[in-house]
Amino acid sequence: MTVHDTPGEFLDGYVRILAEAAATGRRLTREELSSRRELGARAAASGHSWRVLVREHLAASRTGWPAAAAPDSVLSVMQQALDAFADGYEHAQRLVVRQEEAARREFIDDLLHGRGDAGHLAARAERFGLRLSRAHAVAVAEGPAKYDETDRVPRQVQEALFGRFENRRILFTTKGGRMVCVAPGDQDDVLTHFAEQARAATGGGRVALGRPRPGAIGIGHSYEEALNALDVAARMGFDEPLLRAADLLVFPVLARDRQALVDLVRGTLSPLEQARGGARPLLDTLAAYFDTGCVAAETARRLSLSVRALTYRLARVHTLTGTDPTDPAHRYTLQTAVLGARLLDWPARPL
């Protein structure tokens, strides 16, 4: 905050009030108290520190001390005047803090969602420690609860992050109940440390990293990639604590044409609904089979089945769908359809 004017200007009328009120021992009038509050607010808005202002009041009290007044009366007037001055000062400071926080939240919303003029965003970013001429990447962490910046968990992560990278140009915030860190794209150590601290503070939460992208709009894209990675992990049942959007690019490609994906799942897997118990058991069998690299023994172990029972299930899939999961020529279509079913949350959600 830029400091304007001199501290003494905010003591206007103080010595006169001190002399007049202390002489009779009266309390300050409403107008006198109001003038002190107004001067306190102006002093805060001008950027003067409270210590300097108190020192100026004490110095003025010493030089303007009414000789004929009782010390208790003088001290009482000083207390009333400083209380009113402090009230105005603190009120103005709270207003400034709220305005600063509102401006910061507005900037963060515009930045993460790619809203507003890029040049204007870049100018605002400097104020909050970012240089948008560089590429940036965004990390998003989620835990078992929703968080905002006043909660213990985000404060703990923020302290650990800035305690280690105090001089780095990074931004930490919360958005949608998640913790968000924006860092230069070539500083993977910052985002990795953020991920470690977020997982520790949340008791094993999950963190997703978007790809480094240039410019203000790029930060919004990186943020969306991180969110999409978290969504894909939840739908696909991934248990990795750290997700990188660069490793999951196939899933946005699959989901880009939703109708084509629906047609693939319906055309390939809907016959599984004819099985006893519905499609879910056979779909889970296929998912486990593909996750193990089509190794029957490992798949059977994961599903707590005998290899013979697994073989029967795979044969049942072949019978119902006409597609053999053990045949490399058919495997890609089936595996893609299984991935699509996970993304679409089928059969829990109708196609």
CATH of the domain at 194: 3.30.70
327-350 tens-digit pLDDT: 887 888 898 889 888 888 899 888
Same domain, 244 and 139: yes
Q: Which pLDDT band, with edges at 50, 70 and 90, does 1 fall under? A: very low
Query: What's the whole-number mean pLDDT along residues 189-199?
Result: 94
Q: Please, what is the Cα angle at 270 between 268 and 276, to 5 degrees?
A: 125
Let me know whether 87 and 29 are in one domain: yes
Give the distance between the most distant pair of CA atoms in the chain.
110
> What is the number of domains present in the chain?
3
Same domain (yes/no): 155, 260: no
* Residue 88: domain span: 7-98
Q: Is residue 112 part of a domain?
A: no
In a domain, 181, yes or no: yes
Q: Which residue among 189, 215, 248 closes a domain?
A: 248
Q: Are residues 236 and 151 in the same domain?
A: yes
Domain co-membership, 272 together with 293: yes
Better-scored residue on pLDDT, 296 or 115: 296
Q: Is residue 119 part of a domain?
A: no
Instruction: For residues 171 and 224, state if they share a domain.
Output: yes
- For residue 148, pLDDT over 60 is answered with yes
Q: Are residues 240 and 340 in the same domain?
A: no
Q: Which of 98, 118, 141 is the last residue of a domain?
A: 98
- What average pLDDT does the chain have? 88
CA 171 → CA 129, 191, 192, 202, 345, distances in Å? 7, 11, 14, 19, 34
> Which range among 95-109, 125-139, 274-288, 326-340 shows the weakest confidence by mean pLDDT?
95-109
Q: Say if 114 falls within a structural domain.
A: no
Q: Pick from 248, 276, 302: which residue ends a domain?
A: 248
What are the DSSP E strand ranges found in the chain?
135-142, 171-175, 178-184, 206-209, 213-214, 242-244
| Per-residue model confidence (pLDDT) at position 76 | 95
Residues 296 and 314 in one domain: yes
Please indicate, yes or no, whether residues 137 and 241 belong to a single structural domain of this protein. Answer: yes
- Residue 106, domain member (yes or no): no
Residues 27 and 76 in one domain: yes
Residue 86 domain-assigned? yes
- Whether residues 175 and 227 share a domain: the answer is yes
Domain annotation covers residue 123:
no
> Does 121 reside within a domain?
no
Q: Please give the structure tokens belonging to residue 194.
A: 């953020």
- Rounded distance, CA 222 to CA 214, Å? 10
- In total, the chain counts a number of residues equal to 351
What gap in Å lies between CA 279 and CA 159, rounded to an integer? 49
DSSP alpha helix (H) spans, the chain: 14-24, 30-45, 50-63, 71-113, 118-127, 152-164, 188-202, 215-236, 250-256, 258-269, 280-291, 296-303, 307-321, 328-344
Are residues 233 and 149 located together in one domain of the fold?
Answer: yes
Packing angle between helix 71-113 and helix 14-24, nearest 10 degrees?
A: 140
- For residue 269, give the CATH number of its domain: 1.10.10.2840
